Amino acid sequence: MKTLFVYMGGTMGMIPSKDGLVPSIGVVENCLQKLYDTGDVLGSYEIIAAKPLIDSSAIEPEDWNWIGSQIVDRYDDFDGFVVIHGTDTLAYSACALSFGLVGLGKPVIVTGAMLPLVMEGSDGRKNLREAAFAAAKAPAGVWVQFAGKLMHGARVRKSHSSALDAFFDAEASAPPRHLATSLRWQGYTTFNIPLLTFVPGISGQFLSQCLHDADGIILRCYGAGTMPEVPEFKETIRAARLEGKPVVATSKCADGGVALGRYASGANLLSSGIIDGKSATATAAYVKTLFVLSKGQDDASTLAELARPICGEFG
């Protein structure tokens, strides 16, 4: 069993400094070496680290491209892959790998820690060890291993900002795999896609301004997909659609997703060309929109791809 660890940074390997926690070279590397030297984890490994290691709040789509390329370039040399990542944007990167690793046939496990390895009570060693096990045993696909749970890469979200059990995944109807006959990395470019949460009092002008400056938008609707009764919304969305900007509806609720036709308040927007994000998380809807737009297809193909599940992001 040979595992490639792709180390991006994050709390796991951080050390205290006068400015707060900062990434540090050597901490994760030492822990990993001990896990293998003591026989706690069997097999062999290599580790490749991002330069520089980063707090994951600094992650950008080009970092997803870097991680994906490392995995694809070295795919034949390893049986499984572990990505060590900060927790703040871990769910975005897990989604990005789930969509972008087209034709993946091996396990890719994303993990991190809520407390640095150098701190008492750290969850880092346990998560690293369990991620190494998962890289050997999990089904093919992109999974998040955290606090004893193996979670779907395209259905996961950070649900707690301080507890060690910080991630949660909603039920999925398909594994986190973008099926294809051969492996390739389908890369990301950067677009301006805001996530807009509806709140009582939001104005039509505000949505219009957001969409004017954006390449598309992810709407975080109330409940099953309703939104404030603002007459201009429908026209604004229709105008954005005519310009080829995707407008995707998701739910603010953690579970259940949207069902746009259920209430009149959401149903009347369907005719404006809004895309039903179904039970996708807002994170998955965002990353998927970037993924699909990055292909530079015509509007009909973009819409068709956004409407169908790619890797179990909705059922």
Q: Which residues bind ligand ASP (CB under 6 A)?
A: 10-11, 55-57, 86-88, 112, 114
CA 17 to chain CA mean position, Å: 29
**113/247 with CB nearer ligand ASP:** 113
**12/217 with CB nearer ligand ASP:** 12
Distance CA 122, CA 118 (A): 7
**117/249 with CB nearer ligand ASP:** 117
Compute the least distance from the CB of residue 277 to ligand ASP, in Å. Answer: 25
What token pair was written down for 23? 């990434």
CA 175 to chain CA mean position, Å: 15
**122/250 with CB nearer ligand ASP:** 122
Compute the least distance from the CB of residue 51 to ligand ASP, in Å. Answer: 16
Compute the least distance from the CB of residue 290 to ligand ASP, in Å. Answer: 19
What token pair was written down for 14? 């951080």
What token pair was written down for 305? 């791809």
Compute the least distance from the CB of residue 127 to ligand ASP, in Å. Answer: 11
What token pair was written down for 137? 């045993």
Distance CA 176, CA 95 (A): 9
**12/219 with CB nearer ligand ASP:** 12
CA 282 to chain CA mean position, Å: 10
Q: Hey, what amino acid is at 63?
A: D
What token pair was written down for 288? 């998927």
Q: Hey, what amino acid is at 294?
A: S
Contact (CB, 8 A) for 179 and 103: yes
Q: Which of 11, 87, 89, 283 is catalytic?
A: 11
Query: Which residues lie closer than 8 Å to 94 by C-beta, 6 or more apart?
Result: 110, 142, 143, 144, 153, 154, 156, 176
**145/251 with CB nearer ligand ASP:** 145
Compute the least distance from the CB of residue 126 to ligand ASP, in Å. Answer: 14
Match 């992810």 to its residue by tokens: 218
Compute the least distance from the CB of residue 47 to ligand ASP, in Å. Answer: 18
Contact (CB, 8 A) for 274 and 247: yes
Sign of CA dihedral 65, 35, 152, 114: negative
- My answer on whether omega of the bond before 52 falls inside 30° of 0, hence cis, is yes
Closest-CB residue for ligand ASP?
Answer: 86
What token pair was written down for 51? 């330069």
Residue 11 annotated in active site:
yes
Kindly list the catalytic residues: 11
